[in-house]
Chain A
Amino acid sequence: MKPLKSFSNSANITLAASLALAAAIMLIPANMLPIIYTQNAGRIRTDTIFSGIVGLCRQGWWSLGVIVFIASIFIPIFKLASLAWLIFAARQGPGAHARRLTRLYVVLSVIGRWSMLDVFLVAFLSGVVQFGVFAKVEPRSGIIAFAAVVVLTVLANEAFDPRILWGSPASNTPQPSSK
Chain B
Amino acid sequence: MSPKIHYESTDDEWGAQVNHLVCRKCGHEHRSPLLCRGETARCMRCDSVLAKKGWFGRDATFAFAVTGLLLVLPSFLLPFITVRKLGSIQVSFLFTGVRTLWADGMHGLAVWVLLCGGLAPMLLLMTLVGLFVSDWRGWKSVHAQRLAQAVRVVAYWSIPEVQVLAVLIALAKMGHVVQVVLGPGFWCYAALAMMTMLAWRGFDLDCLP
Contacts and interface: CB of A to CB of B under 8 A. Distances in A.
A123 interface: yes
B162 A116 contact: yes
B35 interface: no
B22 A139 contact: no
A129 B167 contact: no
Contact of B174 (A113, A129, A143): A129
A74 interface: no
Nearest to A123: B97
B145 A123 contact: no
Given A68-B169, A126-B100, A154-B156, A179 B26 contact: no
B94 to A, nearest CB: 9
A120 interface: yes
Interface in B1-51: 5-9, 20-22, 25-29, 45-48
A64 B22 contact: no
B137 interface: no
Contacts, number: 156
A168 B26 contact: yes
A144 interface: yes
Interface in B92-148: 92, 95-101, 104, 106, 108-110, 112-113, 116-117, 145
A161 to B, nearest CB: 9
A88 interface: no
A85 interface: no
A127 B27 contact: no
B92 A128 contact: yes
Which range holds the interface residue count of chain B?
A: 35 or more
B93 to A, nearest CB: 9
Interface centre among B8, B26, B85 (most CB of A within 10 A): B26
Contacts of A92: none
The residue in A67, A103, A126, A135 that gathers the most chain B C-beta atoms within 10 A of its C-beta is A126
Contacts of A176: 5, 7-8, 20-22
Given A119-B113, A128-B170, A131-B86, A113 B26 contact: no
A127 B100 contact: yes
A28 interface: no
B27 A131 contact: no
A131 B157 CA distance: 32
Given A124-B167, A125-B97, 14 more contacts: A67-B169, A98-B26, A102-B48, A113-B159, A120-B117, A124-B170, A127-B97, A128-B170, A130-B90, A131-B178, A154-B156, A173-B27, A175-B22, A178-B5
Interface of B: 5-9, 20-22, 25-29, 45-48, 81, 83, 85-86, 88, 90, 92, 95-101, 104, 106, 108-110, 112-113, 116-117, 145, 156-157, 159, 162-163, 165-167, 169-170, 172-174, 177-178
